[in-house]
Amino acid sequence: MSVYPIHRGRRIRSSKQMRNLVSETHLSADDFIYPLFVTHEKHIQKEIPSMPGCYQESIDYAVAEAQEVKELGIPAIILFGIPKTKDTTGSDAYCETGVVQEAIREIKKRVKDILVIADLCMCEYTSHGHCGIIDGGEVDNDKTLEYLSQIAVAQAKAGVDIVAPSGMMDGMVKAIRNGLDKNNFTGIPIMSYSSKYSSSFYGPFRDAAESTPQFGDRRSYQMDYRNAREAVAEALTDVEEGADIVMVKPALSYLDVIYRVKQATNLPVAAYNVSGEYSMIKAAARLGWLDEQSAMMEVLYSIKRAGADMILTYFAKQAAGILKIRN
């Protein structure tokens, strides 16, 4: 039964001010985490061809970038490392002088009041490009856990604020929590990539982080995109093991998963607006097929509307600047 003309939905859409007054979803720079790709090279900032506006950066440039991020009101960055050499165990990921550990120390020393998060995985550091230790041609889950614990401790010693394990190994949160606690880092939170799908949208990131697998793929440990209930189960497992924040990755094709995970847990939920999602908008805008700013903001609001408490996005600086002007 229609209630028109008593109810007219257009009444509360009649002006910008009215729409702002009744808006349900709010977005601010406080919601963003900005990813940085830190290279071992010196004094360089090299644009990533498949990710316009994003760079592989030496530590000095990363420090300057972190300062800019802070001034835009963005509370956190997440670091990915590009080491000088790679080996079968990804030793640069857990050695004291690894590129991310050096970057953590320098950023924490020079940029005050910004959270430094470190991605905790092995794929950028291993010669084979997989997220763990290879045994018999496969990633050995249990052997990998000890290495993940070592990486977490190395990052904590360097001064990291949050560790973010992304390898989708069973038991990784428990192993990392135990390693941190045994080394007196009980105060370091874990942001777990709990529901990380095997996705075609990671392509540009693999260019940026130089982390393409040298054989096979990651489908045996990353999730099948046909499944959603499994994502909730993975998130709840990580909660039980000691995660402080759970994540869904990618974001845009998995808004339903963000919503489900948000409903299932009381922890903060992060969502990663990944490289392919970023690059699609950039490419379409360059061709004049859509308006970049409008599409970017629509995507970010949709991720927040789905339930994300925080968004890892390469659009963070651009969006923060727009929100600053609007506010």
Q: How is residue 275 written in tokens?
A: 């490289």
pLDDT by residue (tens digit) across 132-185? 888 888 889 999 999 999 999 999 999 999 999 999 999 999 999 999 999 999
Coil, strand or helix at 311:
strand
Question: What are the two backbone dihedrals, phi and then psi, of residue 82, each rounded to the nearest 5 degrees?
Answer: -120, 100
CA 267 from centroid of its chain's CA atoms = 17
Measured distance CA(56)–CA(44) in Å, rounded:
8
The predicted structure's pLDDT at residue 155: 98
The predicted structure's pLDDT at residue 216: 58
Measured distance CA(208)–CA(41) in Å, rounded:
14
Catalytic residues: 196, 249
Measured distance CA(237)–CA(124) in Å, rounded:
26
Averaged pLDDT for residues 107-133: 92
DSSP3 helix / strand / coil % (the chain, rounded to 5): 45, 20, 35
Coil, strand or helix at 15:
coil
Question: What DSSP character marks residue 161?
Answer: S
The predicted structure's pLDDT at residue 254: 98
Q: Domains for the chain: give ranges and CATH numbers.
A: 26-326 (3.20.20.70)
Averaged pLDDT for residues 278-284: 97
Most confident of 9-23, 137-151, 291-305: 291-305
Helix (H) or strand (E) holding 36: strand 32-39
The model carries a pTM of 0.95
Q: Which residue has the higher pLDDT, 324 or 100?
A: 100
Averaged pLDDT for residues 90-94: 91
